[in-house]
Amino acid sequence: MDLGLNGRVALVTGASGDIGRAITTALAREGALVAATWHSREEEARALVDEIGQLGGKAMAVRLDQRDQGSIREAVRLVERELGTVAVLAANAVSWPTRTPETWEILTDGFTANVVGTMAVVDAVLPGMREQGWGRVVLLSSGVVVQPMPVGVAYPAAKGALEVAARVLATREAQYGILTNVVRPGFTLTERALTHPGFGQELVDAESARTPTRRLCTPEDVASAVAYLGSAANGHANGEFLSVSGGRDLVY
């Protein structure tokens, strides 16, 4: 199936992590010109860009700090100069303020990075999308919005706020040819899932057993959903929430 992404410019935030790498690779394989952003993992982002180049694709690595509006604006400016107007945004970057008890600083930082920063990236690419009369915005949420897990309050609350923001964007921006949707991954089998405090193999096994498909979501599962919603093949899905959880959010 041709997703109609060939030659379109895609911006993937948080591209150096497992899910971000999968999204970036999936879009590049469809012929998109991909900007892979990083905050603290430059080496991983540049290695990803090299891999895409070896496969015949075109990509660039760009530093972007979602806590810094200047960094966001500069990143988008560089992408537009090097690749062209951003047509697809996969807002995947995330900060994990999961420690408890959550202090004022932890809560503030979580919302600044995950909500304010994400919306600042969206706002930075919208003018170009409006001008070209076409755009796809895909916000990455989380299954913890509907299926709570033993994490702090800031992360699920921030993801819930993004889901509300997506509805606003969907109703406001569709008149310009811009469709906004949400991908809501379930507990995804990533390096973090195995190494993050409070997670680990025991939780992985327990969540797998509770999932109707009897396995966890993979980064590639998430990437496939993002690639579709962020493509021309998606002609009319707008303001939708696509759960990629194997049905886990249906089971309590």
In the chain, alpha helices (H): 18-29, 42-54, 69-82, 104-111, 117-132, 154-173, 191-195, 201-210, 219-229
228 is catalytic: no
- Alpha-carbon dihedral of residues 211, 212, 214, 218, nearest 10 degrees? -70
Distance between CA atoms of residues 176 and 83, nearest Å: 22
CB contact at 8 A, 193 and 222: no
Alpha-carbon distances, residue 92 vs 193, 213, 222 (angstroms): 16, 24, 11
CB contact at 8 A, 203 and 186: no
Distance between CA atoms of residues 111 and 157, nearest Å: 8
Distance between CA atoms of residues 243 and 41, nearest Å: 28
Among the options 155, 176, 228, 252, which is catalytic? 155
A 10 A CB-CB count for 250 gives 12
Supply the residues annotated as catalytic. Answer: 155
